[in-house]
């Protein structure tokens, strides 16, 4: 070893010890005749000191050091005169006897500090330098810890981690599959898995009972902000279980992770909310329940006063923004513009200010007398000082969704979304099916293998559209602070029920055989009842770290064009390689 | 839950309990009026019994059960009359009150037993059924355990598991890279990593100090028996270490795995052998030291008796096969044919039988008097009863390698290679460079980033071929029972030394920049001294399980043509997919 101790562990109790440290020069500065060097490694920073009266060679060596030089330094642990309470090693320094330069460094293109002066692109290009910074070191340490605790928890419950293949088969609707040409089988391709869904269900057929895997998944889709072409899931499946068993098992996992990684106690039990309630109250299937500002339906209270916009609406809803009754005209105008942006899509915004004295001021004063406004305010459960924001429209779910987006925005503006506060939630009772007006058919809200709730089976076998619409699925999402972290379902294991599902979805026997034949065939050999879920591991880590973006929680992420700018990938390959694979480029004209 | 207990946990102490089990019908048989059912799950087998006087519906249900039906069964734990000592649940059975058929099964294409009646191809096609069998269940459970213990050990030493990308860049000598066309970057390709070597070295540059990853690797090569296009490595790297630190760290890991997974104590310390010794004594850089039969050089002892084959040989070596002096002519002829096969490549085989009475019988009696044979036998350290097998040739290493192959064969034939006996070994002091006569240049034996041993640096900077030939590398392999399970090296972290390495390898500055520019550039920013190694995880698992083949230790392996016959992959993809990727097939005529 090049060191006796790391740069984070020496304390005043080690006074008098002769030690050797190794690491990177964070900074070196002269003060009087002395040289002070901050030496950094993954474990911390320790101050080294070369005294004015030290041998000339040593003073010279210390003077020659540049930022990010790698050195080995030997000396005695001494107590500092001027202590630094900000770092754990701040009570001591090392009085150097020897410096060995292990490697020099050219000047890095940006500062390696908590806050770097480098722009995002530059830091991405030199990711290996950005990764030296404290925030990224802590992010990856957190990620390791979350993975390790996840494995320990699941192992303790008898889950087996089983690796599923990465070179699989492109599925018929695999437009978003990455494919891999096979040299040994010319003209044929593997596909990279979007998830191990099929394989984990096969493992249940194979009797593995409790499976998990922390596994890479791949999706060749246009990348929205903060999506990655390769991402990691905690993928799980269990046999002989009902929904309650799955929820309890993974509630326990999240509780353990919060406790062991963050020392945070989350609510016990984690609250559950039906999909219907979530939409009605929060306008979202992944509500942030760290703050209230719930949606209230105002349809009855607001109609019948001759204001056609509202009178003709199918649904009217509002939220009460606390303490915002003093908003200026400029502020309410800005909010109106905000909801009219295409990302929200509202036609306009109605507001009612509930003044501290109980009086009202609204954008609809022309149509509504104070007692009418009072009625609406009562329906909105508004309090003095509140600003009621109201949206309306034909489609209830659409209006609720807009109100949900507005609610999150107001939560952000009011600082109600504390990153270190954690409000987990299960969303349950999803509709099994979604009717699409355009194609006049049902689609599976989760996927075609999701089972209906047993008590709704009577409707599932009904031919009436309104019956089918009210069938709930044994499906569930784990939501944290307004982000969906995971989701899953109890699967259909019964051939007759699966047949009915395909029938409802308008998938004929041939199409079913073509698309799903392989798994349907496996299910003929005694599939057990089973269900599971998957968590988005990158996002779990980011939220545990109190961050929105997953990028800092992935060691080597790709940018929004799917490029790794550090290694400059993807890139052209040799003609010989193309030739061996027996494929050719066929680039379209722009 | 569909069960109160699993099929492996009930004991005679549970007598009288009312329980519900769920699982697969292993078999059901009538005996008198009673029906006995063996119910199986991952945890074991429990016998269920339906008595003759049970309600008719129950008897009927029991009678209707077929192999691999999935059932839920409720009843009382009772002590068996006829106990079965072979299974842990053999003292009890469940007197059934109720059977609920959860799923029927069509008749499986082969028996789901310890030893199946299905052929290899059929079992591969129905892998999910083969995976129900005991040997595969135990293999995957072992794999999970090895992975889990590996992670616990490395975590306890401060190693961080860091995921490196799977979509990387094809390297210039990437003929064996799988590539992935990028839809968003038409004409460009990602490559799947053959190993995370570059990334783990970058993580050292980034200061992560101790990295590991259990990671998938990909290699598009013609598959020899028991190679897989995707395989798993335990990949590790450490900073500020010397070879001794790496060896000690991973010796500790293997010791922990043997202890915690198999309850086996391996030698402490694990023996080390130089590459030169391994070649001289075992004719292999991965010797199986569970048995002796070492190679002895017989050049001096055997030459000078006028037998031109030996007199003109550059090297003569032999092994003593104990107890084989009684081999018949037929047996020695067969051995001669065996070494002449192209896989071994010897021109012939000379033998000397050392009879129990001390007399000799050899294939070279014409040229060698008994006292000559005695001299050879003494050089071979032969004992009465031994059969000395002798090979010769121009090239010492080639002859030794043939003798090494012959030695393993004799070890197999004599049953000296017990699968449950474990003889680990470090091979160290590999030559840094290999001279190639054809191209008249040196090649790196490991890779161009492997560091020479510090004490050999004087030769490394010499211009003499014989000096360069004797430079040893700080490289090491972990060998178990004749199989290389892992290997690695201390890397060059110094720019001047790296430059010298390229010079020695005849790689000019431009070629170096083109091939390795990216990593060389990263190294300019303060690379720490570092080194590491990687273990072949599939093979570690197989050897721990006492098996030669890795196939049963991978849940969904591919066959020798790189095909997954279960999902029928690789396969053709749609024209629309090709079109989106802007590539076309360009199949060569056969």
Tell me, letter by letter, the H, E, C secondary structure of B320-336: EECCCCCCCHHHHHHHH
Per residue in B373-422, pLDDT (tens digit) is 999 999 999 999 999 999 999 999 999 999 999 999 999 999 999 988 99
Q: What is the pLDDT of residue B257?
A: 98
DSSP state of B528: P
Say yes or no for a CB contact (<8 Å) between B525 and A220: no
Q: What is the pLDDT of residue A279?
A: 98
Structure tokens that stand for A566 in this block: 């550090």
Say yes or no for a CB contact (<8 Å) between A170 and B573: yes
Would the pLDDT of B101 be above 60? yes
Would the pLDDT of A590 be above 70? no
Say yes or no for a CB contact (<8 Å) between A170 and B582: no
Percent of chain B with pLDDT over 70: 99
Would the pLDDT of B517 be above 90? no
User: What mean pLDDT is predicted for residues B583-588?
Assistant: 90
Instruction: Give the pLDDT band of residue A175 (cuts 50, 70, 90).
Output: low
Q: Which span out of A215-224, A506-515, B469-478 was modeled with the highest average pLDDT?
A: B469-478
Would the pLDDT of A132 be above 60? yes
The CATH topology of domain A12-103 is: OB fold (Dihydrolipoamide Acetyltransferase, E2P) (2.40.50)
Say yes or no for a CB contact (<8 Å) between A526 and B104: yes
Say yes or no for a CB contact (<8 Å) between B167 and A179: no
CA of B351 to nearest chain A CA: how many angstroms apart? 44
Rounded mean pLDDT of chain B? 95
Would the pLDDT of A222 be above 80? no
Helix (H, G, I), strand (E, B) or coil at B446: coil
User: What mean pLDDT is predicted for residues B417-435?
Assistant: 95
The C-alpha atoms of residue A383 and residue A358 are separated, in whole angstroms, by 8
Architecture of domain B291-413: 2-Layer Sandwich (3.30)
Say yes or no for a CB contact (<8 Å) between A70 and B528: yes
Q: How many CB pairs under 8 A join A and B?
A: 362
DSSP state of A96: E
CA of A190 to nearest chain B CA: how many angstroms apart? 5
Q: What is the pLDDT of residue A496?
A: 86
Q: Which residue in A8, A573, A578, A587 has the most chain B C-beta atoms within 10 A of its own C-beta, making it the best mutation to test that interface?
A: A573
pTM of the entire predicted model: 0.96
Q: Which residues contact A561 (CB under 8 A, 6 or more apart)?
A: A223, B184, B185
User: What mean pLDDT is predicted for residues A448-457?
Assistant: 94
Q: What is the pLDDT of residue B482?
A: 96
Strand pairing report for B424-428 and B272-274:
parallel
Per residue in A99-122, pLDDT (tens digit) is 999 999 999 999 999 999 999 999
DSSP state of A261: I
Contacts of A105 in chain B (CB under 8 A): 524-526
Per residue in B312-368, pLDDT (tens digit) is 999 999 999 999 999 999 999 999 999 999 999 999 999 999 999 989 999 999 999
Would the pLDDT of A208 be above 80? yes
How buried is residue B162: exposed, middle or buried, by Cβ count under 10 Å (0-12/13-18/19+)? buried
Instruction: Give the pLDDT band of residue B494 (cuts 50, 70, 90).
Output: confident
The C-alpha atoms of residue B283 and residue A392 are separated, in whole angstroms, by 84
Per residue in A43-81, pLDDT (tens digit) is 999 999 999 999 999 999 999 999 999 999 999 999 999
Q: What is the pLDDT of residue B196?
A: 95
Say yes or no for a CB contact (<8 Å) between B569 and A169: yes
Would the pLDDT of A173 be above 70? no
Instruction: Give the pLDDT band of residue B214 (cuts 50, 70, 90).
Output: very high
The C-alpha atoms of residue A537 and residue A541 are separated, in whole angstroms, by 6
Would the pLDDT of A172 be above 80? no
The C-alpha atoms of residue B43 and residue A239 are separated, in whole angstroms, by 13
Helix (H, G, I), strand (E, B) or coil at B139: helix
Say yes or no for a CB contact (<8 Å) between A1 and B241: yes
Q: Which residues contact A92 (CB under 8 A, 6 or more apart)?
A: A10, A11, A12, A14, A15, A46, A47, A77, A78, A79, A80
Contacts of B528 in chain A (CB under 8 A): 22, 24, 70, 102-103
User: What mean pLDDT is predicted for residues B297-303?
Assistant: 97
Q: Are B93 and B49 in contact (CB under 8 A)?
A: yes
* E strand residue ranges, A51-116: 70-79, 92-103
Rg of chain A over Cα atoms, rounded to whole angstroms, equals 30
Q: Are A558 and A228 in contact (CB under 8 A)?
A: yes
Would the pLDDT of B174 be above 60? no
Say yes or no for a CB contact (<8 Å) between B207 and A162: no
The C-alpha atoms of residue A471 and residue A464 are separated, in whole angstroms, by 11
Q: What is the pLDDT of residue A447?
A: 87
Would the pLDDT of B187 be above 60? yes
Per residue in B57-74, pLDDT (tens digit) is 999 999 999 999 999 999
Instruction: Give the pLDDT band of residue A452 (cuts 50, 70, 90).
Output: very high
Whole-complex ipTM: 0.95
Q: What is the pLDDT of residue B589?
A: 77
Would the pLDDT of B28 be above 80? yes
Q: What's the angle, vertex CA A24, arms to CA A555 and CA B497, rounded to 5? A: 90
Nearest to A573 among B144, B170, B218 (CB): B170
Contacts of B207 in chain A (CB under 8 A): 23-24, 40-42, 131-132, 137
CA of B526 to nearest chain A CA: how many angstroms apart? 5
Domain B122-271+529-590, CATH homologous superfamily name and number: Bira Bifunctional Protein; Domain 2 (3.30.930.10)
Would you tell me how many other CB atoms lie within 10 Å of the CB of residue A56?
A: 7
Would the pLDDT of B590 be above 70? no
Q: What is the pLDDT of residue B172?
A: 64
Structure tokens that stand for B440 in this block: 């008249």
Q: Which residues contact B44 (CB under 8 A, 6 or more apart)?
A: B6, B7, B8, B9, B87, B88, B89
Say yes or no for a CB contact (<8 Å) between A1 and B245: yes
Percent of chain B with pLDDT over 90: 88
- What residue segments make up the domains of chain A, in order of their start? 12-103, 122-271+529-590, 291-413
Would the pLDDT of A174 be above 70? no
Q: Which residue in A8, A148, A556, A557 has the most chain B C-beta atoms within 10 A of its own C-beta, making it the best mutation to test that interface?
A: A556
User: What mean pLDDT is predicted for residues A219-244?
Assistant: 91
Would the pLDDT of A517 be above 90? no
Would the pLDDT of B229 be above 70? yes
**Shortest CA distance from B203: residue in chain A:** A128
Contacts of B160 in chain A (CB under 8 A): 140-141, 144
Helix (H, G, I), strand (E, B) or coil at A99: strand
Per residue in B460-479, pLDDT (tens digit) is 999 999 999 999 999 999 99
Would the pLDDT of B11 be above 80? yes
Q: Concatenated DSSP letters for A472-512? A: BBSEEEEEETTEEEEEEEEBP--HHHHHHHHHHTT--HHHH
Q: What is the pLDDT of residue A548?
A: 85
Residue A360: which of A330, A329, A327, A325 has the closest Cα? A325
- Tell me the backbone φ, ψ of residue B147, rounded to 5 degrees: -60, -45
Per residue in B530-555, pLDDT (tens digit) is 999 999 999 999 999 999 899 999 99
Q: Which residue in A132, A140, A163, A568 has the most chain B C-beta atoms within 10 A of its own C-beta, making it the best mutation to test that interface?
A: A163
Per residue in A293-343, pLDDT (tens digit) is 999 999 999 999 999 999 999 999 999 999 999 999 999 999 999 999 999
Contacts of A5 in chain B (CB under 8 A): none
CA of A291 to nearest chain B CA: how many angstroms apart? 35
Would the pLDDT of A358 be above 90? no
Contacts of B102 in chain A (CB under 8 A): 493, 528-529
Say yes or no for a CB contact (<8 Å) between B207 and A41: yes
Q: What's the angle, vertex CA B160, arms to CA A421 and CA A68, rounded to 5? A: 95
């Amino acid at each position: 070893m090049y060191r006796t101790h790391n740069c984070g562990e020496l304390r005043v109790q080690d006074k008098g010890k002769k030690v050797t440290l190794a690491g990177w020069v964070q900074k070196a500065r002269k003060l009087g005749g002395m040289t002070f060097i901050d030496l950094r490694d993954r474990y911390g920073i320790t101050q080294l000191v070369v005294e004015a009266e030290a041998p000339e060679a040593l003073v010279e060596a210390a003077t020659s050091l540049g930022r990010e030089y790698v050195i080995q330094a030997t000396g005695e642990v001494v107590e500092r005169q001027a202590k630094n309470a900000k770092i754990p090693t701040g009570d001591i320094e090392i009085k150097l006897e020897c410096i060995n330069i292990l490697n020099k460094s050219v000047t890095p293109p940006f500062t390696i500090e908590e806050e770097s002066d480098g722009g995002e692109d530059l830091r991405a290009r030199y990711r290996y330098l950005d990764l030296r910074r404290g925030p990224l070191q802590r992010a990856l340490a957190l990620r390791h810890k979350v993975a390790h605790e996840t494995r320990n928890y699941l192992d303790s419950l008898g889950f087996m981690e089983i690796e599923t293949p990465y070179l699989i088969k492109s599925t018929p609707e695999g437009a978003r599959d990455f494919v891999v040409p096979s040299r040994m089988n010319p003209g044929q391709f593997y596909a990279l898995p979007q998830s191990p869904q099929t394989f984990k269900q096969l493992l249940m057929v194979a009797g593995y009972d409790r499976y998990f895997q922390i596994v890479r998944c791949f999706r060749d889709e246009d990348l929205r902000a903060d999506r990655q072409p390769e991402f990691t899931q905690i993928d799980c499946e269990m046999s002989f279980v009902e929904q309650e068993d799955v929820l309890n098992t993974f509630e326990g996992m999240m509780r353990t992770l919060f406790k062991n990684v963050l020392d945070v106690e989350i609510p016990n039990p984690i609250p559950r909310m039906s999909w219907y309630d979530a939409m009605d109250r929060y306008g979202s299937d992944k509500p942030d329940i760290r703050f209230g500002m719930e949606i209230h339906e105002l349809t009855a209270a607001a109609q019948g006063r001759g204001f056609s916009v509202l009178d003709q609406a199918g649904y009217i809803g509002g939220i009460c923004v606390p303490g915002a009754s003093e908003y200026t005209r400029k502020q309410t105008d800005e909010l109106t513009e905000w909801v009219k942006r295409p990302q929200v899509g509202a036609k306009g915004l109605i507001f009612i200010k509930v003044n501290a004295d109980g009086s009202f001021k609204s954008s609809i004063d022309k149509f509504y007398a104070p007692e009418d406004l009072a009625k609406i305010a009562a329906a909105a459960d508004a309090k003095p000082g509140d600003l009621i924001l109201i949206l309306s429209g034909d489609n209830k779910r659409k209006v609720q969704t807009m109100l949900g987006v507005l609610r999150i925005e107001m939560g952000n503006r009011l600082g109600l979304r504390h990153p270190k506060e954690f409000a987990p939630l299960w969303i349950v009772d999803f509709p099994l099916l979604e009717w699409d007006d355009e194609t006049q058919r049902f689609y599976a809200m989760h996927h075609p293998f999701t089972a209906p709730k047993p008590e709704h089976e009577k409707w599932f076998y009904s031919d009436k559209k309104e019956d089918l619409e009210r069938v709930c699925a044994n499906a569930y999402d784990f939501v944290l602070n307004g982000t969906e972290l995971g989701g899953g379902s109890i699967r259909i294991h019964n051939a007759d029920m699966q047949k009915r599902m395909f029938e409802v979805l308008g998938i004929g026997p041939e199409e079913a055989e073509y698309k799903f034949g392989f798994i349907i065939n496996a299910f003929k050999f005694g599939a057990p009842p089973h269900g599971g879920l998957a968590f988005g591991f990158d996002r779990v880590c980011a939220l545990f770290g109190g961050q929105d973006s997953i990028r800092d929680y992935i060691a080597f992420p790709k940018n929004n064009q799917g490029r790794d700018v550090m290694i400059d990938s993807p890139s052209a390959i040799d003609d010989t390689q193309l030739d061996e694979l027996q494929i050719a480029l066929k680039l379209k004209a722009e």
